[in-house]
Amino acid sequence: MTTTPRRPATFRLDDPHVVVMDADDEAGRLTRGTVRITPEADAMAMPVVIDAPQIAARKGFRWGTLFWCALGGLVLMGLGLSVTHLVEDLYARNEGLGYSGLTLAALAAIALVVIIAREALALVRLATIESLHLRALDVLASDDRAGSRAVVHDLLKLAHRNPQLARARSALQSHTDDIIDGADMIKLAERELMGPLDIEARRLVSVAAQRVSVVTAISPRALVDVLFVAAAAVRLVRQLALLYGGRPGALGMIRLMRHAIGHLAITGGMAASDSMIQQMLGHGIAAKLSQRLGEGILNGLLTARLGLAAIDVTRPLPFTALPRPVLSDLAKDLLRKRDGEEAV
C-alpha cells in the first residue's frame, strides 16, 4: 500500500495533536490528524564499542616442547657419539688421520656455535624492531614525551650503522632536547629516518615485481614460475629487513615470512575490491595483452602485495607522518612498464 506524502507544516510541541512516540510503538491507535514525532537516537547516549581485552592463553606444561627438546638432545648425543667413534677409528688406523678428524670435528663444532649465536642475535634484533613498533604506537596514543625520547634513542642506535641516514641522524639528534610532544617526536623521527628508507623500499618492491612479471611471462614451465616467485619473495623480504635494520638468519626469515603472510591475510589479501583488480580492469589487460603476459603481471602484483606487507612487518615505526605505499602506485609502474614493452 502506498501512502501520500504529507505536506510540510508547522506545529507546536505542546499541541495536544502532537504525539512523541518511538519507532517501535504501534501507530494504529492514533486518531486522524494526529502528528507523530519519532525522536532520533542521541549519538552521545548510544553505547560505545570497546575492544575486548585479549585474554592470555593459559600457560601449562607444554608436552610438545618437551618432546622436541628431548628428541633434539638425543639426535645431538647420537651425532656426538658417532663423531667420537669416527675419530677413534681414525686414530686406530693412523695417527695423522686421527688428528685430521679431530681438527675437522673441532672446526665443525666452532662453526655450529657461531651459527647458533648469529641466529640468536638476529632473533633478538627482530624482536627489538617489533618492540620499537609497539612502543611507538603506545607513544602515539598516550603522547608520552619521556617514552618518545626512549623510542628515538633506541631507533638511533638501530640506525647508526646505516651511512645513508647520517644526515638524518644528526638532524634528529639536534631536536631531541627541544620541547616537543611525544607524538610529534615520533612523527619527526619517522620523517627524518624512515623517509629515505621508504623510498628505497618502494624501489625494491617495484623491481622485484617487475622481475617476477617478466620471468613468469616468458618461462615455459609452471614449476619454474613457482620456484622463481618463491625465491623472489624470500629475497625481497630479506632485502626489506636489511634495509630497515634487521639482519635475519634462517630462523629469522621463517619468522618474517610467517608474519608477512599473516599480515597479508589480515589486511585482505586478494580481495575483489582491492585497487589492484581495479587497475587491471581499468587498463584492459585482457584485451591488450596475451594470456602469458597477463599471468606475469598478476604474479608481479602478488609479489608487490607481499612486499607491502613485508614493509609493515619490518618497519620499526608505524605509518603516521608519511603516507603508506599502496598497491595502486606500484601497479601503475608495473603496467606502465608492460605497456611500454608491448608498444615496442
Which pLDDT score is estimated for 8?
65
What does the pLDDT read at residue 51?
Answer: 41
Residue (of 228, 223, 196, 224) closest to 209 by Cα position: 228
Phi/psi of residue 36, each to 5°? -100, 130
Secondary structure letter of residue 146 according to DSSP: H
What are the grid coordinates assigned to 263, written together? 599480515
**HEC-encoded secondary structure of 249-280:** CHHHHHHHHHHHHHHHHHCCCCCCCCHHHHHH
Instruction: Mark out the alpha helices in the chain (DSSP H runs).
Output: 63-93, 95-142, 145-158, 166-173, 182-189, 195-218, 222-243, 250-266, 275-283, 285-288, 291-314, 327-343
Residues of the chain with pLDDT under 70: 1-15, 17, 20-33, 37-61, 179, 265-294, 329-344
Tell whether pTM > 0.85: no
Sequence-ordered list of residues with C-beta below 8 angstroms from that of 299, at least 6 positions apart, any chain = 212, 213, 216, 225, 229
DSSP annotation of 165 reads: G
Cell numbers at 151, concatenated? 623510542
- pLDDT value for 252: 81
